[in-house]
Amino acid sequence: MGASLKRDQFEPAYLRLHRSGELARRVKEALEALADCTLCPRDCHVDRLADRFAVCKTGRYAVVGSHFPHFGEEDCLRGWNGSGTIFFSWCNLRCVFCQNYDISWEGAGRGARPEELAAMMLRLQAQGCHNINFVTPEHVVPQILEALPLAIEAGLRLPLVYNTSAYDSLHSLELLDGVVDIYMPDFKFWDAEMARHYSKAPNYPEAARRAIKTMHRQVGDLVMDENGLALRGLLLRHLVMPGGIAGTREIMDWVARELGPDTYVNVMAQYYPAGKVSNREYVVINRGIAGDELRDALRAARAAGLRRLDTRQAARVV
Ligand code: SF4
């Protein structure tokens, strides 16, 4: 099993950066980068400071779809009071099967200035959440960084979870080094053609492999406290897709080989047809996961040598 750390010995990574002044420097660098945006692997080169936008449809300020204590996350994140989720609107991927289509494709939500983002974090902390969980954050790294010092000054002390598709640039991850406690990338596709067809991002697999290795180098394997709550490290997700289009076996082999057998992995089975998927378009994925597809996925993970599989899914394997 993985290492553990007593909660009272844990300090979120960002506090040290804040004390040293490095966090303020990162905020400045991140905001300047918005002027010619290459903050994700799309490399759009638009001036978001002037409120122009491209693929992610987000200009100067983040848009937030919702924020709430989330009880659907992994046990080590939701605990008993929930994971303090802040769900960003729009997205830099274009997954045709998106299960949050109204938020990620249609931008449901409202603009949030840094003070409002900071207030959301503090509200979630006051509600007893165990962490702050930034969902779909790839295109708003500068905006998150900008809000963070305000939240810290007002007493934020929770670990930060970066809940990402892994379509992140190395520059963004450099900006987040020592800020994020828990990286939670969802490794979606192994094959470039599948990533092009289903997410309009043929460079996704290559970008995700590079990003996930960088995340792991920064935070290491997942470490829990005495109550089984995640404090720091990498929690890798993988959504099993119908018809094997995600490349589960290749992904599990890569994770075991490149990150090691103690990588915490959640093999997820909750895919259902949504977004643009129908009986006319993207027909191959117009169904849920069959029982043997989940079993095969979990077997592939075990055969690769991975020994820290999220127990809720792993218990279902026969
Ligand atoms: S963050 Fe948005 S504007 Fe910037 S490169 Fe990515 S998709 Fe393009």
> Atom of ligand 1 at shortest distance to CA of 58?
2
> Atom of ligand 1 at shortest distance to CA of 42?
5
Question: Which of 221, 271, 264, 226 lies closest to 246, judged by CA?
Answer: 271
Nearest alpha carbon, ligand 1 atom 2: 56
What's the full length of the chain, in residues? 318
**Confidence (pLDDT) at 318:** 44
**Confidence (pLDDT) at 4:** 84
Pocket test for ligand 1, best of 31, 36, 45, 46 (most atoms within 8 A of CB): 46
What pLDDT tens digit does each residue of the chain (318 aa) get?
567 899 999 999 999 999 999 999 999 999 999 999 999 999 999 999 999 999 999 999 999 999 999 999 999 999 999 999 999 999 999 999 999 999 999 999 999 999 999 999 999 999 999 999 999 999 999 999 999 999 999 999 999 999 999 999 999 999 999 999 999 999 999 999 999 999 999 999 999 999 999 999 999 999 999 999 999 999 999 999 999 999 999 999 999 999 999 999 999 999 999 999 999 999 999 999 999 999 999 999 999 999 999 977 656 554
**Confidence (pLDDT) at 1:** 55
**Confidence (pLDDT) at 119:** 98
**Confidence (pLDDT) at 312:** 75
Tokens of 53: 């936008």
Q: How far apart are CA 274 and CA 265, in angstroms?
A: 24
Pocket test for ligand 1, best of 89, 139, 175 (most atoms within 8 A of CB): 139
Q: Ligand 1 centre and the CA of 206: distance in Å?
A: 17
> Atom of ligand 1 at shortest distance to CA of 37?
4
Burial (0-12, 13-18, 19+ Cβ within 10 Å), 292: exposed
Q: Ligand 1 centre and the CA of 250: distance in Å?
A: 28
Question: Which of 164, 7, 177 lies closest to 79, judged by CA?
Answer: 7
Question: Which of 273, 269, 307 lies closest to 291, judged by CA?
Answer: 269
The runs of H, that is alpha helices, within 47-91 are: 75-78
> Atom of ligand 1 at shortest distance to CA of 40?
6
Q: Ligand 1 centre and the CA of 156: distance in Å?
A: 28
**Confidence (pLDDT) at 317:** 55
In this structure, the residues whose C-beta lies within 6 A of any atom of ligand 1 are 37-40, 42-44, 46, 54-56, 92, 139
Please tell me what DSSP assigns to residue 243.
Answer: G
pTM: 0.97
Q: Ligand 1 centre and the CA of 55: distance in Å?
A: 6
Q: Ligand 1 centre and the CA of 82: distance in Å?
A: 30
> Atom of ligand 1 at shortest distance to CA of 57?
2
Q: Amino acid letter at 293?
A: E
Q: Are 161 and 133 in contact (CB under 8 A)?
A: yes
**Confidence (pLDDT) at 311:** 73
Tokens of 83: 């994971």
